[in-house]
Amino acid sequence: MTQGESWGGYPKAAQTFRNVRDRHAALSLPPDGTALAFGNGRSYGDVCLNDGGTLLGMRGLDRFISFDAETGVLECEAGVLLADIIDIALPKGWFLPVTPGTKFVTVGGAIANDVHGKNHHREGTFGRHVLAFELLRSDGGRRVCSAGENADLFATTIGGLGLTGVVTWARLQLKRMGSAFLAGEQIKFGGLNEFFALSEASAATHEYVVSWIDCLARGASLGRGLFMRANALSADEAAARGAKAPIVLPLAMPLTPPISLVNGLTLRAFNAAYFYRQRTREAARLWHYGAFHYPLDAISNWNRIYGPKGFLQYQCVVPARDQRAVSEALLKEISRSGQGSFLVVFKVFGETTSPGLLSFPMAGTTLALDFPIKGATTFALLDRLDAIVCEAGGRIYPAKDARMSVETFRRGYPRLEEFRKFVDPRLGSSFARRVMGTA
């Protein structure tokens, strides 16, 4: 049976799918070939694929184990979705300490990719809030890993792309959140100098900071965008502002259009309209957490908009040292190409070190955007961006990658050789074979 697709729809892979339903059972390995834990298929490229091998479907491990509403410590199986955690924790005053831009990822996937969010400058990555997990290895070993116990497997499994073993359950420290709402401002900025000034000023005052950039703007408008910053509201503050949960319409992209609906024409129009929709420079905003953290989750299968060829998501980080100049170089390259998409995220990461050997974030600036696949020109553009990033000492995010070179990965992740020693010989992925040269 063939099943298992990544969110970008590229590359395609064929693999045998085995559902995992019992966390007490031994690892269900095929007689030969490699296996890979597959969560909810929200990583974009090939870290969740294992072409020619086996995928272990982890969504069947979706039970909670315990939750202490006094301390915010939650234990659950690895296939539980972040959305499910919010459902049970928020009514008791707790929220995810770190969340990516979709809540439809599994806990196991969040650990394997050591995901980050709009509060990276405060809280670092998801892995920093993982207290412990159990790791199953192909030798039959079943180990509880934490900072104090099996610390090497703890550090290699966080951000380890599923290659060090299969996580069966995890213990997480949630974060207090008094209401479902956030308040803050949305501020227009005309260019990169303004963006970096706003980022610096907001880091101390706001927990959540993120920006949208018009990737087609050039010349004097290069680097223009919208800066969003917010703090969670307490129950009293939310009540005082009359915050009400929005009525969410069930929207879906019902089918894959024959061609990408995102092209030069639609994109230029979208971007200009989005930038000018806000009349004033600064606007006070009140957000429901869904609209703030997960705007795209409101549209099921939004990825279909890019048509049957799929899309490439590109996310890089460049070190703080030259972030202004390097960001400008990247934006110029993208703007000149006329490619890119409406969905562009720009953010300054904080200094907090990530717990994983292969974690992506570092102190500096991160840029993320989608590219509909238009063939060789798209791949060539991304190679040019890689060159700029590598030269600056930055790196590319594996969770979103489907095409970086062996060399780009090696340069971006200097601890790769250390990591290799912990790779389970019976586990593998399309990504690992492509950029790490493993089985």
Q: Parallel, antiparallel, or unpaired: how do β-strands 251-252 and 344-349 relate?
A: unpaired
| 149 close to 173: Cβ distance less than 8 angstroms | no
**Distance in angstroms (rounded) separating the CA atoms of residues 113 and 108:** 9
Query: Nearest distance from residue 438's CB to another protein, in Å?
Result: 30
Smallest distance from another protein to CB 127, Å: 22
> Using N-to-C axis directions, what is the helix angle for 323-337 and 192-203, rounded to 10°?
130
Q: Give the count of beta carbons closer than 10 Å to the beta carbon of residue 309.
A: 15
Question: In this chain, which stretch among 15-23, 46-54, 129-137, 369-377 interacts with another protein, using CB under 8 A?
Answer: 15-23
Q: Which residues of 262-281 are buried (b: 16+ CB within 10 A; e: fewer)?
A: beeeebeeebeeebeeeeee
The span from the CA of 317 to the CA of 427, in Å, is: 28
Place of tokens 């609209």: 291
Q: From the CB of 229, what's the least distance to another protein, in Å?
A: 33
Reference 80, options 111, 54, 49, 50; nearest CA is 111
Contact (Cβ atoms closer than 8 angstroms) between residue 363 and residue 199: no
Q: Between residues 16 and 438, which has the closer beta carbon with respect to another protein?
A: 16
Structure tokens at 313: 């998501």
Residue 385, token pair as written in the block:
């961006």
What is the 3-state secondary structure of 54-81?
EEEECCCCCCEEEEECCCCEEEEECCCE
Least separation, in Å, of the C-beta of 71 and another protein? 14
Binding residue for another protein (CB under 8 A) from 73, 88, 235, 299?
88
Q: Taking the complex as a whole, how short is the minimal distance between the CB of residue 103 and another protein, in angstroms?
A: 16
Q: Exactly one of 11, 21, 266, 275 binds another protein (CB under 8 A); which one?
A: 21
Which position among 12, 14, 22, 269 is part of the footprint of another protein (CB under 8 A)? 22
How many residues touch another protein under the rule CB under 8 A: the total is 16
Of residues 91 and 264, the one with the C-beta less far from another protein: 91
**Minimum distance from CB of 19 to another protein (Å)?**
6
Asked if residue 83 binds another protein (CB under 8 A), the reply is no
22 vs 345: CA distance, rounded Å: 38
Distance of closest approach, residue 88 Cβ to another protein, in angstroms: 6
Draw the binding track, 41-80, toward another protein (x: CB under 8 A; -: no contact): -------------------x--xxxxx------x-x----
CB of 112 to another protein, least distance (A): 23
CA 386, CA 363: separation in Å to the nearest integer?
A: 18
**Span interacting with another protein, options 20-28, 236-244, 282-290, 350-358, rule CB under 8 A:** 20-28
How wide is the angle at C-alpha 366 spanned by C-alphas 415 and 225, nearest 5°? 175
- Residue number, 20 or 183, with CB nearest to another protein: 20
Task: Return the residue of 24, 277, 279, 421 that touches another protein, per CB under 8 A.
Answer: 24
Q: Are 115 and 100 in contact (CB under 8 A)?
A: yes
Q: Which residues bind another protein (CB under 8 A)?
A: 1, 19, 21-24, 60, 63-67, 74, 76, 87-88
